[in-house]
């Protein structure tokens, strides 16, 4: 089972960036990398800590040319994030993404506002 969070407006921005020059793609890729590392750091802070396995397992990786993923491979991370009928949700990834979205969009808009 997996869960995906997407940032609104990012897909359209990336499609338009692919039509620009090589330097633009490199700059956007670097900003997306920095953003994924910030999401990773925030998710580790928000993750509930009992044994530390959940927070220590969170990592970011490049999924495609202009795409990054923040992953928690621990089998129970989905249950912690969404909760179960016997346990309340303790979201850690969704708040990290929600916190990062305005920063990322502001930084990307700054790059191309000329």
Burial 27-55 (b: 16+ CB within 10 A, else e): bbbebbeebbebbbebbbebbeeeeeebb
pLDDT in tens, 61-72: 998 888 899 999
Average pLDDT over residues 87-102: 94
Which of these, 63, 77, 59, lies nearest to 32 by C-alpha position?
63
CB neighbour list of residue 19: distance below 8 Å, 6 or more residues apart: none
Alpha helices (H) in 8-85, listed in sequence order = 10-18, 22-46, 53-57, 77-82
Task: Please determine, for residue 35, whether its predicted confidence score (pLDDT) is greater than 90.
Answer: yes
Q: Considering the chain, what percentage of its residues have pLDDT values greater than 70?
A: 95
Tokens of 65: 């040319």
Residue 12 pLDDT grade (very low, low, confident, very high; cuts 50, 70, 90)? confident
- Dist CA 69 CA 61 (whole Å): 5
pLDDT in tens, 13-24: 777 776 777 888
Task: Please determine, for residue 105, whether its predicted confidence score (pLDDT) is greater than 80.
Answer: yes
Task: Please determine, for residue 97, whether its predicted confidence score (pLDDT) is greater than 80.
Answer: yes
Average pLDDT, the chain: 87
Locus of tokens 């900003």: 31
Please state the pTM of the whole predicted model: 0.84
């Amino acid at each position: 089972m997996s869960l995906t969070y997407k940032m609104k407006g990012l897909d359209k921005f990336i499609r338009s960036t692919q039509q620009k020059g090589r330097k633009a793609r490199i700059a956007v890729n670097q900003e997306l990398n920095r953003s994924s590392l910030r999401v990773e750091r925030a998710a580790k802070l928000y993750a509930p800590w009992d044994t530390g396995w959940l927070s220590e397992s969170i990592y970011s990786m490049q999924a495609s040319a202009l795409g990054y993923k923040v992953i928690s491979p621990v089998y129970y991370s989905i249950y912690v994030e969404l909760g179960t009928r016997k346990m309340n949700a303790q979201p850690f990834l969704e708040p990290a993404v929600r916190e990062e979205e305005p920063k990322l969009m502001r930084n990307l808009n700054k790059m191309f506002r000329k």
